[in-house]
Amino acid sequence: MTELEIRLTRERSLYLHLLRILESTAPGEPMRDVLTALVELTQAERAYLELYEDVTAGGRQWSLSHGCSMSEEEHIRAVTSRGIVAAAIASGQTLHTPFALLDPRFSAARSVKEQRLEAVLCVPLSGSAPGVLYLEGQRGAGPFSPEAVQAAETVARFIVTAVQRANSGRWREADDPTLPFREKLRLGGIVGRSRAMAHVFEQVALAAPLDVSMLITGASGTGKTQLAQAIHDNSKRRGGPFVEINCAAIPEGLIESELFGALPGAFPGARRTVGKVEAAEGGTLFLDEIAEIPLAAQGKLLQLLQSKQYYALASSRLAKANVRIIAATNADLEQLVAERRFREDLFYRLNVFTLRMPSLAERREDLGCLVEQLLERLSEEHGLPALRASPGFHAACEVAEWPGNVRQLRHRLEAALIRASAEAATYIEPCHLADGPRAQQEGILSFHEATRRFQRNLLQHGLVTSGWNVSEVARQYDLARAHVYNLMRAFGLKRE
Ligand SMILES: Nc1ncnc2c1ncn2[C@@H]1O[C@H](COP(=O)(O)OP(=O)(O)OP(=O)(O)O)[C@@H](O)[C@H]1O
């Protein structure tokens, strides 16, 4: 056989194995064959695949396959250069070093020195199946050829698709404490599978069917409006209207006519206006930013809550109302009551059943699915390509601060999706997230800071899970012990 014929045969074998992955319900075994075929085609010494169970830094898990035995796999896992893998994941790009031992980026790493690593090719996997495909070249064979790089990248893309397919059922079912509530409640587009969200849904299941007033507290952008809608959708009133009024957005002098309506002549230029209470008849009236309602209107609202009756402006006729009131605030109402800026009696009337929406900081484990699902929705809404986030992008989102909660995340994802689409990028990368000083003001970290926080979290995770065993952590992350101590000092990590 000529060299070309050999290459074509090997290529065919690789693609046949790739097709077998798609046909298979358990892709593990055919994946090993793919790696074996890839080793043959690229003439690598070995190929190695690492997949993470989920995208959160704390939840990274090994799940690898390779064209060799389990014990050999263990060995490979131990000696693979973590430094090269981490660099590829952080950049979201294929990393090819022709001679790791002479490459100033990696030459100091212990694994590189110990194994005298030469050519290394590392392709990060992205989307909801993050991981890496790692190939080591044969000694003395020189760098990988462009065809080998291309073949590895094709395999990586294919594996992402296959794993996503295999995981699509599991994603919904495994370890999702919100699942029982999702099955019985209408929760619209509320994304989240954390314990904190399961607790919120549990309360919704309890209170939504009762016709009681509710108060939703929680920081801005945590999804209070969305939750109010979900309460309405799960109440007996779901066939009626859901009417929203943002008390902060209406000038003080107009709030009463907005709420209760007005007759002609109620104030100069007034015509007959239908108030929100009337518009919500038979349904739910959602009073957002209730803390902003002026004291005079608070008295009328109290009357409505107590007697289900009210006067429209300039009307002497007492109107009856059949509405359920849900109020929301991000202010500390008790504090406002203490300062006499909010009526105590109204506070107790509203506070029959209180639900607190957790901030994103309290449910960081939701970040992965929020990024995935919000991106999907946003690309549909804007008619943009359904781009997926790279592992680096996920990591950058995970380490960023989100003081504006889901709303801020949604806006940043929207901007990143638009930028990535404009560049015709294959994946959304960390560089699509940052946009200079505004990003910093809004809490998006620079890539450097994001990487620093990622390292801190990773180190902390290693220390906690190893019982603060520095030697073990040094081995695990391929670092010198002195370096681990330096990092611990730099990051302020101390055993409690
Ligand atoms: N869990 C979630 N899943 C999906 N989208 C969410 C979630 N929480 C919030 N959002 C989205 O974030 C944005 C802000 O949500 P929402 O308006 O409900 O927040 P809020 O707490 O009422 O904010 P504010 O206090 O400023 O009124 C909306 O676009 C909403 O769709």
State the distance from the centre of ligand 1 to the C-alpha of 404, rounded, in angstroms. Answer: 10
Q: Nearest C-alpha to atom 24 of ligand 1 is from which residue? A: 220
Hey, where are the domains in the chain?
A: 3-173, 195-357, 361-491
Query: What does the pLDDT look like over 161-185, one tens digit per residue?
Result: 776 666 554 444 556 889 899 988 9
Sheet holding 242-246, edge to edge: 242-246, 284-288, 324-329, 214-217, 353-356
- Structure tokens given for 214: 């509710």
Contact 355, 207 (CB under 8 A): yes
**Ligand 1: centre distance to CA 407 (Å):** 5
Q: Is 248 in the pocket of ligand 1 (CB under 6 A)?
A: no
| Residue 267 scores a pLDDT above 80 | no
CATH topology of domain 195-357: Rossmann fold (3.40.50)
**Number of Cβ within a 10 Å radius of residue 330:** 17
| Ligand 1 centroid, distance to 458 Cα (angstroms) | 30
Residue nearest to atom 8 of ligand 1 (CA): 223
CA 412–ligand 1 middle distance (angstroms): 14
Atom of ligand 1 nearest to the CA of 190: 3
The answer, yes or no, to whether any atom of ligand 1 lies below 6 A from the CB of 220, is yes
In whole angstroms, give the CA distance from residue 428 to residue 431.
Answer: 8
Which of ligand 1's atoms lies nearest the C-alpha of 226?
A: 18
pLDDT band at 59 (very low <50, low <70, confident <90, very high): very low
pLDDT digits (tens, 9 = 90+) for 85-137: 777 777 778 989 998 888 887 777 777 777 788 899 999 887 656 778 888 88
pLDDT of residue 58: 38
* Predicted ipTM of the assembly: 0.96
Rounded distance from Cα 225 to ligand 1 centre (Å): 6
Going from the C-alpha of 190 to that of each of 231, 339, 362, the distances in angstroms are 12, 35, 16
Is domain 3-173 given the CATH code 3.30.450.40 in the classification? yes
CATH 1.10.600.10 assigned to 361-491? no
- Tell me, using a 6 A CB cutoff, whether residue 221 lines ligand 1: yes
Q: Is 7 in the pocket of ligand 1 (CB under 6 A)?
A: no
- Find the 220 Cα to ligand 1 centroid distance in Å: 8
